[in-house]
């Protein structure tokens, strides 16, 4: 069965982690876990200041080459009646604002990220050339194992 519309809205606003699926240059599917925030009509995920693996900016290169992405939110636990997932199919674009804190589109995204993730008090939200990926939602699919799988608080 599907998640309720209320659950979907709640998860898009509050769930802390998603997996970003993109298309790699060699035609392979690429996946990476990301933090994200909903701001306006889009979902935004920053390339933040945490240490990265060498190839990590693959996500940025992939999106520049092909905007087709998916964002997967899900929950696993041993009680399989509690399983659910939510997948956003979207179109992504890379933003490199020159002055992010003053950018009228970007500043609210940074504020929303800092509100959702108190970790950004210690972790630099932006480093080097500021990079954020904006995902415009094209479709939302969901599944849950049972009505009690997810209940918005």
CA distance 44 to 63: 13
Q: Does 60 bind a copy of itself (CB under 8 A)?
A: no
Residue from 60, 85, 94, 140 touching a copy of itself (CB under 8 A): that is 85
With CA atoms as reference, report the closest residue to 74 among 15, 9, 147: 15
Residue 116 touching a copy of itself (CB under 8 A): no
Tell me which residues in 15-34 interact with a copy of itself (CB under 8 A). 16-17, 19, 21-23, 27-33
123 binds a copy of itself (CB under 8 A): yes
Is residue 50 close enough to count as binding a copy of itself by CB under 8 A? yes
In the complex, least distance from residue 62 CB atom to a copy of itself, rounded to whole angstroms: 9
Name the DSSP class of 25: T
Q: Is the CB of 40 or the CB of 79 nearer to a copy of itself? A: 79
Which residue from 14, 9, 5 is spatially nearest to 117, judged by alpha carbons? 14
Spatial separation of the C-alpha atoms in residues 87 and 71, rounded to whole Å? 6
105 touches a copy of itself (CB under 8 A): no
Q: What angle do CA 132, 20, 107 make, to 5 degrees?
A: 20
130 CB-near residues (< 8 Å, 6+ apart): 96, 97, 100, 106
Question: Which residues of the chain form contacts with a copy of itself (CB under 8 A)?
Answer: 1-2, 16-17, 19, 21-23, 27-33, 50-53, 55-56, 68-70, 72, 74, 76, 78, 80, 83, 85, 87, 89, 119, 123, 141-143, 145
């Amino acid at each position: 069965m599907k998640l309720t519309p209320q659950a979907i809205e709640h998860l898009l606003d509050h769930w802390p982690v998603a997996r970003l699926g993109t298309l790699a240059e060699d035609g392979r599917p690429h996946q990476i876990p990301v933090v994200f925030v909903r701001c306006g009509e889009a979902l935004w995920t920053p390339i933040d200041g945490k240490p990265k693996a060498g190839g990590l900016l693959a996500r940025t290169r992939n999106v520049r080459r092909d905007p087709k992405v998916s964002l997967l939110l899900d929950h696993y636990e041993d009680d399989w009646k509690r399983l659910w997932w939510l997948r956003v199919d979207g179109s992504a674009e890379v933003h490199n604002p020159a002055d992010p804190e003053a950018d009228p589109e970007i500043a609210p995204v940074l504020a929303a990220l800092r509100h959702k993730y108190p970790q950004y008090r210690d972790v630099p939200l932006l480093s080097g050339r500021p990079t954020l990926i904006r995902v415009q939602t094209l479709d939302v699919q969901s599944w849950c194992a049972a009505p009690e799988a997810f209940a918005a608080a």
